[in-house]
Amino acid sequence: MSAELMQAKHHLELKRLQELIESELELESRLFEASSQIPSPSLSIVLEPDGSGSSRVANLMFLPIDDEDMESIKLLQLYCELPIQITSETLPDLEQLLHEVNLTVPLGAYSINTNRQLIFKYVYVLSKFKETDPAEFLETFLLWMYILDNINMLVDALIEGQTDLQAALQALNS
């Protein structure tokens, strides 16, 4: 399948997911076409503010993969950069907490990018030959947001000095 046809197919599927998210979850979203800056169509979803009142945006996109590399699957990435200020002082404890979080959460992974931004992402493996099931997608997306919200509160408390690493780890494992 040509790259243009694959992008059109992904755009159409993201459009369906956009309609589902807006109707079922009542979240605002915007669909972006593929461009020189964005290799594949992308859906940005405005999430509810975090516990500190900071706004958050989730981005969904099908990862561009060669048909010859993946014959039966497509990969949908759920991605969010969290509005958290990471300093040199908080970085070691945060890295240790995130290591434990990644061992604990049922899906998704946290990381810190080169710009010291906290990221939560999940790559959802789907059949290339079927449309994404709406109920399955919503359940997965809601679980992803639940993990995002709960871990975000723990990370905020650690970063802001409201809790120490040991207490955060204890809260994670309770």
- Give pLDDT, residue 64: 83
- Give pLDDT, residue 29: 97
* Helix, strand, coil % in the chain, rounded to nearest 5: 40, 25, 35
The DSSP symbol for 111 reads E
- Give pLDDT, residue 67: 67
Q: Which two tokens stand for residue 18?
A: 């956009």
Classified as helix, coil or strand, 117 is: coil
d(CA 132, CA 129): 10
What pLDDT, in 10s, does the model give residues 95-137? 999 999 999 999 999 999 999 999 999 999 999 888 899 999 9
Rounding to the nearest 10 degrees, give the CA dihedral for residues 106, 88, 49, 149.
Answer: 20
Give the N- to C-terminal CA distance of the chain in Å, as an integer: 48
- Give pLDDT, residue 66: 72
Q: Confidence band (pLDDT; 50, 70, 90) for 35?
A: confident
Q: What are the residue boundaries of the structural domains of the chain, listed by start? A: 3-172
Residue bearing tokens 């998704």: 108
CATH of domain 3-172: 3.30.1460.70
Classified as helix, coil or strand, 12 is: helix
Residue bearing tokens 């099931």: 133
- Give pLDDT, residue 24: 97
- Give pLDDT, residue 4: 80
